[in-house]
Amino acid sequence: MAPSSKPAWKRSLANLAVRSVVRLVLVPVRRLPLRQVQRLGGLLGSVSYRWFAFRRRRIADANLRAAFGAELTDSERQRIVRACLINTAKMLLELFKLPQLTPEAVKQLVKLSGGEHVRAAHAKGHGVIVLTGHFGNFELGAARLRAEGYAVNVVARDAPDTPTAQLINACRESHGTKVLAREEIRAALRCLQRGELLALVADQHQAEGGIIVDFFGRPAATATGPALFAARTGAPVVPVFVVRESDDTFNMIVEAPVALADTGDREADMVENTQRLTKALEAGIRRHPDQWFWMHRRWKAAETLNS
């Protein structure tokens, strides 16, 4: 990841602000039942949309315009941006609540659809690559798969503030999930070689080491990790979407493995397979556009090419 362009004092101040907010919300999160925690997240998301997240709202609106064009009206875009902020706030509080939930409570909260796809992929013995994005509450997906008895590993980018990152990773690992840094490539490969699940979040701009593929009709710098891991290990790649329902329960949809090219031309296969996997993510986002993180500058590659 490229270093931040902010001065050190601004980064320190921003990290302190994030840490303070996290500590503040942890108090009610640890004391309240899950349903009330989710209501609190909805309130925080609504307040953020109304009063604070102006820059993120502009980014999200611009992304939706570029991705959908005339398919969405102004009011529809506004509704999606608001839903995106609310979902993000709920997702974070649900993650902080996760250590207090039992595996049975996770099963009740998150319905599993398409479990036969991960079972069949796992039975092949090469491990399984779980492909997902910043969608719904993707953070709950690993815990739900752990509740099914799978060994689950997640490759994650840490938050800029170290104490906050440690807290987030402790929540992720509270149900037995192993968190790996993006640089731990050998460890990730060993997980697959042991026949375990490796979850990769592959929907954001890849500043270094990515390749350009199409995403919503625009060039996007995209991580090649899922395609490379699949080529190295033979692990099937199953797209997974943890969809938030209207009552704040979830439907975790596991799709059939993506068919990958294997022509013997490694470079061409990597490009083709990265495109296929990106299209699988795009299809899920198109079905539920209000659940994806539109506030990220995903198309920096297009901005650079057009400058």
What confidence score (pLDDT) does residue 9 get?
73
| Close Cβ partners of 72 (under 8 Å, ≥ 6 residues apart) | 64, 65, 80
Residues near 71 by beta carbon (within 8 Å), at least 6 away in sequence: none
- State residue 19's pLDDT score: 80
Flag the least confident range among 65-69, 141-145, 204-208, 270-274.
204-208
Q: Is 213 helix (H, G, I), strand (E, B) or coil?
A: strand
Residue 14, pLDDT above cutoff 50: yes
Confidence of residue 248 (pLDDT cuts 50, 70, 90): very high
pLDDT in tens, 68-93: 999 999 999 999 999 999 999 999 99
List b or e across 214-246, with b for residues whose CB sees 16 or more CB atoms inside 10 angstroms.
Answer: ebbebbbbbbbbbbbbbbebebbbbbbbbbbee
Q: What percent of the chain has pLDDT over 90?
A: 85
Rounded to whole angstroms, how far apart are CA atoms 16 and 164?
Answer: 10
Cα 34 to its chain centre, rounded Å, is 21
Would the pLDDT of 3 be above 80?
no
Q: Evaluate if residue 52 carries a pLDDT over 90.
A: no
2: pLDDT confidence band, cut at 50, 70 and 90? very low
- N-to-C CA span, the chain: 22
- pLDDT range class, residue 13, cuts 50, 70, 90: confident
Position 212 scores a pLDDT of 95
What is the percent of the chain with per-residue pLDDT over 70, rounded to a whole number?
Answer: 96
Q: What is the pairing mode between strands 110-113 and 211-215?
A: unpaired
Return the H-helix or E-strand segment holding 200.
Answer: strand 197-201
- C-alpha–C-alpha distance, residues 235 and 231, integer Å: 8
What is the average pLDDT value for the chain, to the nearest integer?
A: 93
Q: Cα separation of 289 and 68, whole Å?
A: 10
Residue 81 has what pLDDT? 97
Tell me what pLDDT residue 21 has: 81
Instruction: State how far the Cα of 151 lies from the Cα of 153, in Å rounded to an integer.
Output: 7
> Does residue 154 carry a pLDDT above 50?
yes
Question: pTM of the full predicted structure?
Answer: 0.92
Mean pLDDT of 189-218: 95
Q: Which DSSP string do the residues of 179-196 spell out, in sequence order?
A: EEETT-HHHHHHHHHTT-
Residue 163 has pLDDT above 90, yes or no: no
DSSP secondary structure string for all residues of 240-305: EEEEEPTTS-EEEEEPPPPP---SS-HHHHHHHHHHHHHHHHHHHHHH-GGGB-TTS-TTHHHHHH
Query: CA 182 to CA 145: how far, in whole Å?
Result: 21
- Write down the pLDDT at residue 34: 98
Task: Examine the pLDDT at 182 and tell me if it is beyond 80.
Answer: yes
pLDDT reading at 175 higher than 90: yes
Q: What is the pLDDT of residue 293?
A: 96
Distance CA 304, CA 298 (A): 12
Instruction: Give strand pairing partners of 167.
Output: none
State the CB neighbour count (10 A cutoff) for residue 28.
Answer: 13
Give the pair of three-digit tokens for residue 228. Answer: 């490379």
Nearest Cα neighbor of 208 from 222, 218, 189 is 222
Mean pLDDT of 12-32: 85
Q: In the numeric block, which tokens belong to residue 83?
A: 């839903």
To which residue do tokens 């490539």 refer? Answer: 185
**Helix, strand or coil, per DSSP, at residue 242:** strand
